[in-house]
Structure 1
Amino acid sequence: MTFAYWTVAGLLALFYLYSGAVKTVWSRERLRPMMAWVDSMPLPAVRAIGAVEVLGALGLLLPPLTGIAPGLAVAAALGFVLLQLAATGVHLRMGDRQVALNVVLVVAAGAVAWLA
């Protein structure tokens, strides 16, 4: 694994570990200021998205570190690409045109998939 992979994958994993953790434990009221979309989904779905993000973050790091099923890192990165494409669609459907973070995350996850 290259320095570029570990830099981008590490930053992406940190982002998704935090994002996923707060979605799994914070209340809807606490999430609402950061994520207005939480009102448009059932709370169990928000929790499930958080769990997927945490598992994906672990998938970026653990397989390459352990050497066990290193292809899972590519799958995790491609999963994040799909997740953010869907998230961009949700934002646009809700009239939220601020999707720059989503675009950055798609590019970063694509880079991780390519570098893995």
Structure 2
Amino acid sequence: MNVFLWILQGLLAVLFVMAGTLKTIQAKEKLASKMGWVDNVSASTVRSIGAAEVLGGLGLILPAATGIATWLTPLAAAALAVVMILAAVTHYRRGEYPAIIFNVILALLCAVVAWGRFGPWAL
């Protein structure tokens, strides 16, 4: 199970760091063509969400890999699960139902990492 959690953490970290970097460095107008929800929020909110995703993605790997403040790894996973639930709510309000499925799957995967690292397979 520990190996499974590491693989899951790695995949989620790559996904969140890439998505967060995109939201952090690209202009809001450029993102609007791919992500319609950015029209409903300010540019600083888009950048804040991106920064949260980048930091959460790094938090899935770095504390556990370095052995420093390992309690941050399950905390990052739980925080990313909350971010994905909030994203699902946003997509629901906009009527973007296929995106909700993706958000819920990511939230569940983050919850599995949080559960595993808080509990039986804590680092």
Pairs aligned (count): 116
Query: Deviation of residue 2 (structure 1)?
Result: 1.6
**Percentage of matched positions with identical amino acids:** 40
**Paired amino acid for 1:20:** G
**RMSD of the TM alignment (CA)?**
1.2
Is 1:108 matched with 2:109? yes
Determine the structure 1 residue equivalent to 2:23: 23
Please list every run of 5 or more consecutive structure 2 residues that lacks an aligned counterpart in the other structure.
Answer: 118-123
Superposition misfits of 4+ residues, deviation over 4 angstroms: none
Within 5 A, what are the aligned runs for 1:27-66?
27-66=27-66
Please list every run of 5 or more consecutive structure 1 residues that lacks an aligned counterpart in the other structure.
Answer: none
Structure-1-length-normalised TM-score? 0.95
Higher RCO by CA contacts (8 Å cutoff, separation 6 or greater): 1
Distance in 2 (CA, whole Å) between partners of 1:97 and 1:52 is: 23
Distance in 2 (CA, whole Å) between partners of 1:43 and 1:32 is: 11
Structure-2-length-normalised TM-score? 0.90
